[in-house]
Amino acid sequence: MALYVMKFGGSSVGDTERMQRVARRIIEKQQEGNQVVVVVSAMGDTTDDLIDQAKLLSKEPPAREMDMLMTTGEQISIAMLSIALQAMGAQAVSYTGWQAGFRTEAVHGKARITDIQPERVLKSLEAGNIVIVAGFQGMTEEGEITTFGRGGSDTTAVALAAATHADCCEIYTDVDGIYSTDPRIVKNARKLNEISYDEMLELANLGAAVLHPRAVEYAKLHQVRLVVRSSFNNNEGTVVKEEVKMEQGVVVSGIAYDKNVARISILGVSHVPGVLAKVFGSLAESKIDVDIIVQSGVQDGKADFSFTVALSDCDKALKVLEQIRGALPYDKVTSEEGLVKVSIVGAGMVSHPGVAAQMFEVISKQGVNIVMVSTSEIKVSCVIDGSKLNEVITALHSAYGLDTENTAFVGGPQDRR
């Protein structure tokens, strides 16, 4: 008997009718002779709605209470799905994240999983149940409720698959799989049959919202076979795995973009050892991720540097910089919004020089300035002005030979956020 973890995103369980469709799909999987663990997200836009409501009460609601609030969304889903399954005659039981054994570090809003004790889940499976687990939540050593960050239910699914030694983790969503780029922007985007963990990790980190980056990290670490597919049809989806066959001549597999970027510049900092350590140490202490860092020339013993953070962290980062101003004098700090980070990703890049140069060329032909660049072995990212995003992505997509005649894009709006 094989063990499957099936994860359904918010739009797949958006209303009771969809919930019933999902329930039928789960029962089918079980009737094929499998054991099934199900992970669900909050129904539809529940998480967003809860956040909006909290913001009506407070500009900055306390992170602990936000976790308390947001985790209710997934609790509704698991109970509803279990009710639907049992109404169809199936044997099912629902568990919150902590009941399912998810322990996390003591950070609200983006906690990492420290341990999973899946005994209860396994026992319920053995007893013949379909086990339903609430996504994106866990509990600290001290018994505090935490969440894994937006989109974190994918991580719940993959982590459970690893902990229970499942044969496969299927992520059901409202698109057919992983696309070469966002099909809402490029109508010739193609669905990929397979992609490597590393490429997927880059794409997810760089803004492709179909999979939560930590889920991919986890899948790679534990070699979990991951399939991303639609909950609205039976198409095959995209397999994410270690090694994939490289198509002849394809150096770029996918193009991602991220509008959630802001650039912060610190001007006129003394050019002495320890400056970067102080700035980025303080930001890290406040759990602010910094992405691209660029230091420009030194003049009169003073340096300027710029870095990017998530737009949503920008205000917080500016506050941190204000706080350290006493210890680290600088002339001024500026921040810039309206930017977007466009990235090309492909395992084939390593052995093909000139891939980055081609990207710069394509972007410049669109008359767009490149503000910052960062590269790794399998990706090149450019931060550009956001106003011509669609033109840039469309041009890159065809320049790297990714266009296809296949325009079949099935599904509604993206599952996330």
> Which parts of this chain interact with ligand ASP (CB under 6 A)?
9-10, 41-42, 47, 73, 135-136, 150-153
User: Interface with Mg ion by CB under 5 A: which range of 35-43, 58-66, 219-227, 230-238?
Assistant: 35-43
Q: Which does 97 bind (CB under 5 to 8 A by kind): Mg ion, ligand ASP, none?
A: none
Could you write out the DSSP letters of every residue in 91-136?
Answer: -EEEE-TTTTTEEE-S-SSSPPEEEE-THHHHHHHHTTPEEEEETT
Distance CA 266, CA 230 (A): 45
10 binds Mg ion (CB under 5 A): yes
Distance CA 257, CA 312 (A): 16
Distance CA 204, CA 218 (A): 13
Structure tokens at 354: 């000139």
Q: Which does 394 bind (CB under 5 to 8 A by kind): ligand ASP, Mg ion, none?
A: none
What minimum distance in Å lies between the beta carbon of 211 and Mg ion?
13
**Residue 280, Cβ density class (10 Å: 0-12 exposed, 13-18 middle, ≥19 buried):** middle
What minimum distance in Å lies between the beta carbon of 397 and ligand ASP?
27
Q: Which is nearer to ligand ASP, 47 or 308 (CB)?
A: 47
Structure tokens at 76: 């509704």
Q: Which does 382 bind (CB under 5 to 8 A by kind): ligand ASP, Mg ion, none?
A: none
Q: Which is nearer to ligand ASP, 28 or 49 (CB)?
A: 49
149, 312 Cβ separation under 8 angstroms: no
* DSSP E strand boundaries for 17-105: 34-40, 92-95, 102-104
Q: Which does 73 bind (CB under 5 to 8 A by kind): Mg ion, ligand ASP, none?
A: ligand ASP
Taking residue 282's Cβ as centre, other Cβ atoms within 10 Å add up to 17
Task: Tell me the number of residues near Mg ion by CB under 5 A.
Answer: 2
Distance CA 308, CA 267 (A): 15
What minimum distance in Å lies between the beta carbon of 300 and ligand ASP?
47
Distance CA 138, CA 147 (A): 6
Q: Which does 124 bind (CB under 5 to 8 A by kind): ligand ASP, Mg ion, none?
A: none
How much helix, strand and coil, in percent to the nearest 5, is found in the chain? 35, 25, 35
Considering only 12, 30, 35, 41, the residue that binds Mg ion (CB under 5 A) is: 41
What minimum distance in Å lies between the beta carbon of 244 and ligand ASP?
26
Q: Which is nearer to Mg ion, 51 or 294 (CB)?
A: 51
Sheet containing 370-376, strands listed edge to edge, beginning at the edge strand earlier in sequence: 254-258, 339-345, 379-385, 370-376
Q: Which is nearer to ligand ASP, 10 or 138 (CB)?
A: 10
Q: Which is nearer to ligand ASP, 47 or 180 (CB)?
A: 47
Q: Which is nearer to ligand ASP, 136 or 400 (CB)?
A: 136
Distance CA 125, CA 141 (A): 26
Q: Which is nearer to ligand ASP, 10 or 101 (CB)?
A: 10
What minimum distance in Å lies between the beta carbon of 216 and Mg ion?
17
What minimum distance in Å lies between the beta carbon of 27 and ligand ASP?
23
325, 361 Cβ separation under 8 angstroms: no
Q: Which does 136 bind (CB under 5 to 8 A by kind): ligand ASP, Mg ion, none?
A: ligand ASP
Q: Which does 177 bind (CB under 5 to 8 A by kind): ligand ASP, Mg ion, none?
A: none
- Positions touching Mg ion (CB under 5 A) are 10, 41
